[in-house]
Amino acid sequence: MSLLNHHHSHHFFKNKELNHFYWAAAIMTFADSLINIFVPIYLYQLNYPIYSIIFFYFLVSLSFVIFSYPGAKIVSKIGVKHAILYSAPFLIIYYLGLRVIGDYNWLFFILPILLSWRMILYNYGYHLNYIVHSERKNRGREVSFLAALAVIVHLLAPLIGGFIAFYSGFSVLYIIGSVLLIVGTFPLFLSKDGYEALKFTRKDLWKAIFSKKEKSALISFSGYAIESVIGRTIWPIFLITILITLSKTGIIITLSMVISLLVFYFVGKITDKYNKTKLLKFGTLLYFFAWVGRVFADSTLKIFVIDSYKNISEKVLHIPWSAKSYDLAQKRGYFRFLVGREIIFNLSRVIIMPILILVFFINVYPFVISFMIAALFSLGYVFLADD
């Protein structure tokens, strides 16, 4: 039986399933954020050239595309919450492997596969768990609340992670993050797991991804995928080249996120009340200029101002964009739609990353070029407004 038959009898914030989900998401996001933003910096400090680091993440996305459908079949069999639980060991082993990657270079080609399986199990479990227990009329506020939780933990995680990495090393950071990843799954199991039947074939999946009906979603999801991977891999390395120290990098990221907390309640409320199409168009324009601004970030003060603006504009854009994405998923067969969306994310990265590798290998204004590529593709968000 489809999980969407779950009876939505609770009001916003009184939904037990969502409350458990909020707690789990907050703890696991904190655990992941302690380490994740510092991984590109860590590889950079191990003297991997930037183009090699990009290739590392290229392998992650390539593995995701290859294993995406088998992963969906596994999630269907083990249950949504167990998928999130079983994703944690993959990430823990991945972190342990990173700890010794300098001594065992072959791990460079194995760890991306482990990370891709973590992403497959966690992402499918996360989005399925949310969509089947959320309420459409409150989705803007629910997405806003989830995003606010993420920002709150992100306020602390880079700061704490930066100090732990600086004073105690990455090993201690990995241990703390790993323990919290397991602990974070506990709230999910305060209620029963749910199972989702796999009602689409691999052929159905790929046909839907490239259908005319999904063209706008394809462009929008590709835009997100490309600009976000540049933000997660290249931007942290750029920060360390300007700010020099891990602790200083953590402080700047934390302070810039404080500013964005101010917009959550407002954006979540207007997302539920007003036209998501207009909000998407407005947010896309704001976010485009955030990426253009990063081209000029060459000092601590400029980084703080530009990153603060970027975080605010990102929330203005992402809340209506995410809410509309979930609305579309519910209309079009949510399991197939969510799996297809994740494939689009990673397939887009597989296509763009060789270009970024070449940009950094040639090494002529590579950061400027990559930030402008991100700015260009950030305009893709607005296409979901036409869907």
CB-based contact 227:294 (threshold 8 Å): no
Domains, the chain, ordered by start: 15-386 (1.20.1250.20)
Q: Which of 28-32, 170-174, 221-225 shows the lowest mean pLDDT across its residues?
A: 170-174
- How confident is residue 163, by pLDDT bands cut at 50, 70 and 90? confident
The CA distance from 318 to 144, in Å, is 9
> 20 CB contacts (<8 Å, ≥6 apart)?
187, 188, 190, 191
**How far separated are the first and last CA of the chain, in Å rounded?**
28
Q: What is the pTM of this model?
A: 0.84
The CA distance from 264 to 261, in Å, is 6
DSSP string, 216-278: HHHHHHHHHHHHHHHHHHHHHHHHHHHH-SHHHHHHHHHHHHHHHGGGHHHHHHHHHHS-HHH
- pLDDT recorded at residue 12: 47
The CA distance from 20 to 277, in Å, is 31
pLDDT tens digit sequence for 8-67? 433 445 667 777 777 787 788 777 777 676 788 889 889 999 999 999 999 999 999 999
DSSP 47: T
* Statement: residue 336 has pLDDT above 60: yes
pLDDT tens digit sequence for 293-332? 988 887 777 887 888 788 788 878 888 898 888 888 888 8
CB-based contact 227:291 (threshold 8 Å): yes
Stretch 255-278: mean pLDDT, rounded? 63
CB-based contact 267:186 (threshold 8 Å): no
Q: Which amino acid is at 52?
A: S
- How confident is residue 239, by pLDDT bands cut at 50, 70 and 90? confident
**Radius of gyration of the CA atoms of the chain, in A:** 20
Q: If you search the block for the tokens 């739609």, which residue do you land on?
A: 337
Q: Which amino acid is at 104?
A: Y
Between 151 and 284, the more confident residue is 284
Q: How far is CA 189 from CA 85, 184, 230, in A?
A: 10, 10, 35
The CA distance from 230 to 228, in Å, is 5
pLDDT tens digit sequence for 178-202? 888 888 877 777 777 778 888 899 9
Specify the DSSP element, H or E, that contains 364.
Answer: none
DSSP 102: T
- How confident is residue 154, by pLDDT bands cut at 50, 70 and 90? low
What are the backbone angles phi and psi of residue 364, rounded to the nearest 5°?
A: -115, 105
Tokens of 95: 């972190």
